[in-house]
Homo-oligomer: A and B are copies of this chain.
Amino acid sequence: MFQAKIKAETLKKMIDIVSPLVNEVKLNVSPKGISLRAVDPAHVAMVDLEIKASAFEEYKAEDMELGIDLDKLGSVMKLAGAGDTVQLEFDEMSNRLIVKIGNLVRKIGLIDTTGMTEPKVPNLNLPAKITVKASDLYQGVKASEAVSDHIALLANRDFFELFAEGDTDTVNLRLPKDLLIDLDAPEKCRSLFSIDYFSSMIKPVKGDQPLTIYLGNDNPVKLEFEFADKNARATYLLAPRIESE
Contacts and interface: CB of A to CB of B under 8 A. Distances in A.
A244 interface: no
Interface string A99-140: 001111111110000000000000000000000000010011
Chain A interface mostly helix, strand, loop or mixed? mixed
Interface of A: 72, 75-76, 78-79, 96, 101-109, 136, 139-140, 142-143, 146-147, 167-175, 179
B169 A109 contact: yes
20 contacts: A72-B146, A75-B143, A76-B143, A76-B171, A79-B139, A101-B139, A103-B140, A103-B173, A103-B174, A103-B179, A104-B139, A104-B140, A104-B172, A105-B172, A106-B146, A106-B147, A106-B169, A108-B168, A108-B169, A109-B169
A13 to B, nearest CB: 20
A146 B104 contact: no
Q: Which of A72, A78, A105, A179 has the most CB of B within 10 A?
A: A105
Given A146-B72, A146-B75, A105 B173 contact: yes
- Number of copies of chain A assembled together: 3
Nearest to A165: B107
Nearest to A95: B168
Contacts of A171: 76, 104-107
Contacts of A139: 79, 101-102, 104
A147 B143 CA distance: 39
Q: Which of A103, A108, A142, A172 has the most CB of B within 10 A?
A: A103
Nearest to A179: B103
A170 B106 contact: yes
A204 to B, nearest CB: 20
B103 A175 contact: yes
A107 B169 contact: yes
Contacts of A174: 103, 105
Given A169-B108, A169-B109, A146 B103 contact: no
Contacts of A102: 139
A171 to B, nearest CB: 5
A198 to B, nearest CB: 16
Contacts of A136: 103
A119 B78 CA distance: 39
A143 to B, nearest CB: 6
A185 to B, nearest CB: 18
